[in-house]
Structure 1
């Protein structure tokens, strides 16, 4: 079998059996295609030495340990599948070692910084009202950017103060939504969205562009990047920053980790535990307030 045949089968496996999101699936395939481009050897004949050389050359190009770890994960997944299908008996990626990753704390925004960003929005335009609703939804519900772009009117249960979200692996979850966030979504929905020329097939999507189609991930990134530049914030800000801020602020204000895990849609609470990081001030206050010797 050549690369094209195997990749078609592998793509079907990731989509149908693993239920990976389109973005994750694309990332896996992109990594394997890098190996394909690197070597002339067919996937059923490639050796462990060739795979190791590929990784070595990849690492030499100053890619981060995180990028290398993801590439190793992609290679292991691909060759595990090839072996599982019994197209080859050995696994050339079996002995690959994943680089050790240090704890990478997510960037977060303070409430004041979030207010700064929102203050830069031109509310005199239709897009401005939409963008305010987008930022309030990202921060108020802790959504991934793909969950925001896929959010539908039929997912809004405002009377019960919940929204329904389709997360990774097509898993559904219900997220509480505050009246504050509902207010801005409703302003956009009832005063702006109703006047858009909505295209066929996009009638149920909440957030639309001026042509009446759903927004892309890139557009959300662009909106936030432009607002950050206007606000003079020097942090590296993305849609995910609002998700990190949502979780961090909940934790600091007393929410339990298990509840945050469920709202974020994390399979493992270990993933959620990254939000237990605290700044030096919080640590100092905690020691002074709670240690028995300081009473």
Structure 2
């Protein structure tokens, strides 16, 4: 029988060299570095790939759709829907890259969708809870407690992320403005301080003094402050203040977003202040607090005061 000129799909598999995960990872992470992704994003990918292979002990380059489905079924016993979707996003980025570079022919994620999750209520802090936190912090009367008060005020005033706050340098503070450089989407932005926060920040800078580090917020040893320390301290303050809600940099961010929406700030301006890359999450905030907006409309609707 005469042979065909073109090899079949099955024959091509035999001829082609088998790729390894090590080769695939090398290409994928080289691309991540070239695109200047944040170290935390690169570590997120590495951790998720490692964890996925622990559940399905097989090279990722050999995975098929059935393996992804098996991963989802097994993960449901171990993880939340949010965590599963986080892992699926990492795998999607990996396989999309490999297929685009012709490293793989088939994308096992092609027909896989993220899992639907119930919309959870986003907790925010009310006036009374914020005031209780301030009281607890001020009781200590130390450099660290005053620093923490200023950090909390900056969080509430600007809605910046924890990673953005720890990246602020002395030169980034300019009166009632802070230039945020270490952003999630790599675009610098300007956030604004209220008069009270500006005054407290200026007092903190005066007490801080001139140090070898250029980072704005420092620990008691005058070294750069780490993220974990901030999270731990605010959890502690929350317990001391008797607040059952989670007290964290992210809850301050949500609180700022809600208060801005309640004051009538438009979604586009809020998106810019929060550093969202698109309107999706900002719209989510607006929809979540729609009842509050409805009450505001009843009080301040455009037809109020008109004799019609």
Report the TM-score when normalising by structure 2.
0.84
1:147 corresponds to: 164
Pair 1:64 & 2:75 matched: no
Pair 1:194 & 2:209 matched: yes
Rg (Cα) greater in structure: 2
Following TM superposition, the consecutive aligned residue runs of length 4 or more in structure 1 with deviations greater than 3 angstroms are 279-292
2:177 corresponds to: 162
Structure 1: tracts of 5 or more residues without a match: none
Q: CA deviation at 1:117?
A: 0.6
Equivalent pairs, count: 285
What is the CA deviation profile of residues 205-232 of structure 1, one whole-angstrom value per residue up to 9, with x for unaligned ones?
A: 0001122222111111111100000000
Q: How does 1:159-238 map to 2 (within 5 A)?
A: 161-166=176-181, 167-191=183-207, 193-194=208-209, 198-199=211-212, 203-238=213-248
Q: CA deviation at 1:175?
A: 1.2
Structure 2: tracts of 5 or more residues without a match: 1-18
Q: CA deviation at 1:279?
A: 7.2
Pair 1:42 & 2:59 matched: yes
Q: CA deviation at 1:123?
A: 4.6
Report the TM-score when normalising by structure 1.
0.87
CA separation of 1:73 and 1:104: change in aligned 2, threshold 3 A = same
What is the CA deviation profile of residues 178-207 of structure 1, one whole-angstrom value per residue up to 9, with x for unaligned ones?
A: 22111111111111x127xx45xxx21000
1:91 corresponds to: 107
Alignment partners' CA distance in 1, 2:163 and 2:300: 41
Q: How does 1:244-259 map to 2 (within 5 A)?
A: 244-259=254-269
RMSD: 2.4
1:163 counterpart SS class: strand
Alignment partners' CA distance in 2, 1:207 and 1:64: 34
- Contact 1:105/1:274 (CA < 8 Å) preserved in 2? no
Q: 1:14 aligns with which of 8, 22, 32?
A: 32
1:174 counterpart SS class: strand
Alignment partners' CA distance in 2, 1:270 and 1:173: 19
